[in-house]
Chain A
Amino acid sequence: MKLLTLNFLTCAIKTCKSTPASFPLHPRDAELEIAETDLNLAFLKSILARLLWPELRTICSEFGLPTLPESRPEPADLVDPDSSEGEEESPSQTARDLHRVLLETCMREGKLVCGNCGHEYAVKEGVANFLLPAHLV
């Protein structure tokens, strides 16, 4: 599961959804892996504004990853200033770093824990189990 996904995933329990403590879910006993994929600059640009940046920083530090800059980059920061005019834009180092963190860094095993209700979602082979027992739906 990509770190990108963790910036959008919430606890599935109805009473948690409205409380801020249910987001982001906190990794426990996590095993990470890198899965390389092509960088998609147009996608990065469009998702940038939708990220919750402080929460992304929190998750990175909980995983023990290098600290992200305090403030979110601007869309213009994602484009290599040296890309020559007329040519297709090429990604900046910032874009490459962001791509690495969001789309290539994946949680493979472990648990995701809700900060509000304490419910634990198991993650195996990168797949999280979000099936709820009937009494929690």
Chain B
Amino acid sequence: MSRPEDLLPPDLFYNDSESRKYTTSSRIQKIQSDMTHRALSLLNLTHPSMILDVGCGSGLSGEILSQSEEEGTPAGPHVWIGFDISSSMLGVALEKEVEGDLFLADAGQGVPFRAGTFDAAISISAIQWLCNAESSDESPAGRLSRFFNGLYASLRRGGRAVCQFYPKNDEQKKMVSQAAVKAGFGAGLLEDDPGTKNAKTYLVLTVGGGELDGDITGVVKGMDGVDVMDHRRRTKDRKRGEDRKGSKAWIVRKKEQMEKKGKVVKATSKYTGRKRRIAF
């Protein structure tokens, strides 16, 4: 099956009909809800918190964040702010009258909140999209670094973020987690059902300074399949020339994208006539 990330940019892929289909599918609702609960258990929140939801889509995770402890949300209800690049997804969230505030924004452009705003951040099935740069003046590495730097700054000391994502391959998994480490996070990768088609990858991130002091080991220690990223080892192991190899891959990807440009153009004209709920 081809990855949606390789077909179209996210704001075009998640158009009105796809956003509706996505949100009303009971299969998807169940999977996203399970992953949100998994992420919440990794966040280990102890009081009603201020949470950022990156790539919040139609608010499937947000609805869970807004629920109370009795309804199954640890330390809930939380107050959340979500942002997404698809106005159609946000349109569906508006129709559902979710409690969180919504923004139309691109995670690859950063996180426009002042330092220390959030107790925690969550991102479910979204950040793999950052590995597909949308135009010639952007690279996936640049987008990932802008995102993680912004996220790091917007979290309180001692805060945590959990990003479940679908890496295309090991290289992409590495690229994403290393971008997070480079931004200053303590990072651990957790994999549920590894090696199966239901495999789920969670990037667990901590901001130093609080009780954890950036030590991810305590969070993920004892959990099966956890790979703790060690910042020092990583930098030492980085070989010369690896960047160049990366940039070659980058060119190949860019070329593929150029090829796809034709598709994008066609698709754009196909969708441009359609009404969106929030038209900016």
* Chain A residues engaging chain B, CB cutoff 8 angstroms: 1-2, 4-5, 8-12, 14, 23, 37-38, 40, 42-43, 46-47, 50, 52, 103, 122, 124-132, 134, 137
* Chain B residues engaging chain A, CB cutoff 8 angstroms: 47-50, 77-79, 81, 83, 85, 90, 94, 99, 101-106, 109-110, 112-114, 116-117, 119, 135, 137-138, 146, 156, 277-280
Q: A12-B105, A12-B110 are in contact. Are A131 and B278 (CB under 8 A)?
A: no
A128 to B113, CA, bound (A): 13
Q: A12-B109, A14-B110, A137-B109 are in contact. Are A42 and B47 (CB under 8 A)?
A: yes
A60 to chain B, nearest CB (A): 18
Contacts of B85 in A (CB 8 A): 131
Q: A12-B109, A43-B48, A131-B109 are in contact. Are A126 and B102 (CB under 8 A)?
A: yes
A127-B79 in contact (CB<8A): no
Q: A103-B79, A130-B104, A131-B104 are in contact. Are A11 and B112 (CB under 8 A)?
A: yes
The chain A residue with its CB closest to the CB of B110 is A12
A1 to chain B, nearest CB (A): 5
A5-B278 in contact (CB<8A): no
B79-A9 in contact (CB<8A): no
The chain B residue with its CB closest to the CB of A47 is B50
The 9 closest A-B pairs by CB, nearest first: A130-B105, A43-B48, A12-B112, A8-B117, A129-B280, A129-B104, A5-B101, A127-B102, A42-B48
A127 to B90, CA, bound (A): 8
A5 to B51, CA, bound (A): 11
B105 to chain A, nearest CB (A): 4
B114-A8 in contact (CB<8A): yes
A133 to B267, CA, bound (A): 21
A8 to B146, CA, bound (A): 19
A134 to B85, CA, bound (A): 14
B278-A124 in contact (CB<8A): yes
B176 to chain A, nearest CB (A): 20
A122-B280 in contact (CB<8A): yes
B63 to chain A, nearest CB (A): 14
A124 to B90, CA, bound (A): 12
A129 to B109, CA, bound (A): 13
Contacts of A129 in B (CB 8 A): 103-105, 280
A134 to chain B, nearest CB (A): 6
B10 to chain A, nearest CB (A): 12
B101-A1 in contact (CB<8A): yes
B101-A50 in contact (CB<8A): no
Q: List 13 A-B contacts (CB under 8 A).
A: A10-B112, A12-B109, A37-B99, A43-B50, A46-B119, A50-B116, A124-B278, A126-B101, A128-B103, A128-B104, A130-B83, A132-B109, A134-B135
A130 to B102, CA, bound (A): 10
The chain B residue with its CB closest to the CB of A42 is B48
The chain A residue with its CB closest to the CB of B277 is A125
B113-A10 in contact (CB<8A): yes
